Structure 1
Amino acid sequence: MSPPKDAPAERYQLFQREGSTRWQMRFSLRGHGQIKRSLNTDDHAEAVRRADEIFYEAAYRAKQGMSAKVHTFEAVAEEFIQLILREVERGERRADQGKSEPSLIRRFFVGYFGQKPIDTITDTDLERYVEWRRTYWTEGPGKLITHIEYERGGHKLRRPPKRTAPALSRQRGEAVVLRALLRQAVKWGYVKTPPTVSIRTRKAPDNRRPSFEPHEFEKLTQTSLGRLTDPIMDGTGAEVRASDRRTWRIKRLDDHTRRDRAVLHAYVMIAAFSGLRPTEMYNLTWGDVVGYREGRGKGIDQRDIRLKARGKGMSGTAIPHKAAIPWFDTLWMMFERGMQREPLDTDPVFANEQGKRIGSIANGFTELLKAAGLERDNRGIKRTPYSLRHFHISEQLANGAEVIDVARNCRTSLAMIDKHYGQVRLERVADRLRPEWTRA
């Protein structure tokens, strides 16, 4: 190592390591210890200029109560991750945060800011980050990633990434983590005043799931029942146009079409009277219809059932209205007729002619909606089978059911009830808003 060369006013020392022509600097500030930095130049005059700049910046930082050393975003992020893991271990954070937040920080925050000194990040940098994050999986680095690895139940799994922009709720959730990281950097003395993390997202659209008004649901069911009869009975029938321009009307339903429409009608009624999700309807087996076998042959008033709902990563028991029971009877009889035996507990409730689980009723449901003129709600949003669940919950609330009971029975949270299902028209609860004591 060459002998140190004194810089002006003894502020710092310049030196060259043995075997290197690059200049280095070292200096000390009270309360901050010794600081060493490479100046990345062979020229002595340029080394002095850079050393002055570094020294005065460090002195200013120390005077402002910050760390005299420059800390990169990546280094601070890793320190913050270790803090998260310690807090999880002490029970101060949820265990899932110890898995999700480190990967979020490394993939997105460090992926963008990297080696940038954390105290130089500005509001403008954050604005640019937001746009980069929105296009990460479609135009940015994520477009080259073929799969994402994760762990569940002690097993390492992988899934393909979603090639879409993150949902607004996810963007806001990530902003909370980034804000916490920057606030912690202030506490550690790495930043004097953090930039404002105001991730401006467009106002969330009205994403309430489309439902049915009572008169619309009545029209839907009447249309569905009407589609079970032969067209010749009411003088109508779908018009068919051949490629040679010949036209004719269908005068009789084939057995396959009639059966499909009967299953669809039962699906509509059970979903509306139970509030099950489409995935829960799909997974439903006869063993999940608790109490059904014991009640067969009895009147509806003497029967009761419970539904074991499985889907969306959760399970639970649902209490349906008794009005759903006759439609289970319909599906039971159709299974018996097609398979020449009673359904087993493992057989699907919604089965095709071969007794196999029906993959989806979405197309048939859309055709029914078109026939009833109810394909879209008053906002122009297309209805789906999920609209039957929304109808169920909205009707429960409109008819005085307690919100917490509805949430538990439908295996959802009070927040989700308020966000998606609580917007019941005031006219339908007018009587509850005008109690007896207010009436003249």
Structure 2
Amino acid sequence: MDAEKHTLLDGKLHVYRRKNSGRWQCSTYLGGRNHRATTGEDALALACDFAREWYMQRYVEERQRRRDATAAQLDGAVQSINRPDPASDRRRRRTPSGPTFGQACEAFLADYNISTNGERSAIYVKQKGDQIRMHLLPFFGEDRPIGEVTSGLIQEYRVHRLTSRKHAKTGEVIRPSRSTMHSESVTLRQVLKTANRKNWISALPDMSTAYRGSGKIVHRAWFSPVEYKLLYEGTRERAKNPKSERWREECEQLHDFVLFMGNTGLRPDEALRLEARDITVVKDEATGERILEIEVRGKRGVGYCKSMPGAVHPYLRVKGRKNLQPTDKPFPTIQRELFGAILKELNLKFDREGHVRTTYSLRHTYICLRLMEGADIYQVAKNCRTSVEMIEKYYASHIKNMLDASAINVRKPKPSARRVRGKAEGDTSTASI
């Protein structure tokens, strides 16, 4: 993000202003962590004066914290000297040594960056380093021996992540999402596997989540056919009558984006990577309709997608409006704020279970609508570059059209009265013999 920056106090204090923001902010690094605050000032001179006073307050607080910590250590050392030690405590104990957790993290990142070069997106690879730097290393410690990372310590880390972050105003605990916790657990397991391969540890600790059974499978947020129609009619109306004339192009772009995504099933990041040369308008031989053949580049590499006929006109409108060249992107950005505002106006922001709807919900909508229309689940999985297992788990389980009433409501024919009477007489005669 572009920002105007100024450095004060020999590089110890920074004053900056983000793009499209009128207020100056300040930041410094003290006590092993970053401190940030807003100056509340529009003028640079006033912002610098505020930043200097703010820095001195943080500096004094950090000095006081260090002084208290040192005093506590000295007090503990004096008490340990004066306290008579048992005979067993006079033994010479060995200080834990060996490879540390920080060395294991460095070894993992070095191997991972080389092994996954070209096979994983740069964003995903960078995410691993960010998780280690921001969460794993601060908790486990860079100098902790890797052998001391036990199952109990891993459980303490989960509890710490679920309770440490609080809302600045309300004080309520902000819990990370399930996917975030899962991603961090995967990174931690990969670090421990690296240590295991180097024979730094004899075996991996148990990393299973305590007190948790099988997770409840819930369907992902999507738009039903009625809701999807309400959505694209709302974006069409906003495109025709924007609240401000200068937002007309963005509103038209959003309307075409909604129709394009609902008829292709692309992931939002895949749509952002698309270039005009990746999309071809063709006539499908099987149906005789015009569709889009799309060469998709996403998290699973290069794949292909054949759209519904409804994606052709939105793409052609974007192409004509932006005069796209082969290397231009039809959707370089996503108007998420405008999309969220329209969802709120239409009361579509949340589904019945309270799940928030995002641009990703358009992909879920495409999959659900295809299944409801009777499309082959294997072909849908291939077209969406996912697996049949994922579709059956998260989509097909809540689509009523996937249930065959003729196969469920099976009734065995009841035997006639004569057959029942004859069978009973035969049983009696047999018994008399």
Matched position secondary structure for 2:263: helix
C-alpha spacing 1:302/1:168, structure 2 compared with 1 (3 Å)? closer
- Kept in 2: contact 1:289–1:307 (CA 8 A): yes
Alignment of 1:176-255 (within 5 A): 197-200=207-210, 208-228=219-239
Whether 2:267 is the aligned partner of 1:277: answer yes
Distance 1:137 1:375 in 2: 25
Amino acid at match of 1:345: P
Please point out which of 366, 371, 390 is paired with 2:340.
366
Could you give the per-residue CA deviations for residues 63-97 of structure 1, whole angstroms, max 9, x where no partner exists? xxxxxxx894745989999x999x99xx9xxx99x
Q: Which has the higher helix share?
A: 2
Whether 2:183 is the aligned partner of 1:170: answer yes
Cα distance, 1:184 vs structure 2: 9.9
Aligned to 2:3: none
- Kept in 2: contact 1:122–1:195 (CA 8 A): yes
- Kept in 1: contact 2:371–2:402 (CA 8 A): no
Whether 2:372 is the aligned partner of 1:344: answer no
Aligned to 1:406: 380
C-alpha spacing 1:401/1:108, structure 2 compared with 1 (3 Å)? farther
TM normalised by structure 2 equals 0.51
Distance 2:318 2:202 in 1: 67
Matched position secondary structure for 1:307: strand
Cα distance, 1:414 vs structure 2: 4.4
Larger-gyration structure (1/2): 1
Could you give the per-residue CA deviations for residues 370-389 of structure 1, whole angstroms, max 9, x where no partner exists? 33331221122221111111
Aligned to 1:434: 406
TM normalised by structure 1 equals 0.51
Aligned to 1:114: 144
Distance 1:380 1:268 in 2: 22
Amino acid at match of 1:281: A
Please, which moves more after superposition, 167-176 or 304-313? 167-176
Distance 2:201 2:300 in 1: 43
- Kept in 2: contact 1:108–1:133 (CA 8 A): no
Please, which moves more after superposition, 408-417 or 211-220? 408-417
Cα distance, 1:397 vs structure 2: 2.8
Distance 2:181 2:261 in 1: 29
Aligned to 2:156: 128
- Kept in 2: contact 1:393–1:421 (CA 8 A): yes
- Structure 2 residues not aligned, in runs of 5+: 1-84, 121-125, 167-174, 413-433
Please point out which of 265, 268, 273 is paired with 2:255.
265
C-alpha spacing 1:284/1:197, structure 2 compared with 1 (3 Å)? closer
Distance 1:270 1:78 in 2: 46
Could you give the per-residue CA deviations for residues 215-266 of structure 1, whole angstroms, max 9, x where no partner exists? 2112223333444556xxxxxxxxxxxxxxxxxxxxx977655544333222
Aligned to 1:307: 294
Please point out which of 375, 381, 384 is paired with 2:358.
384
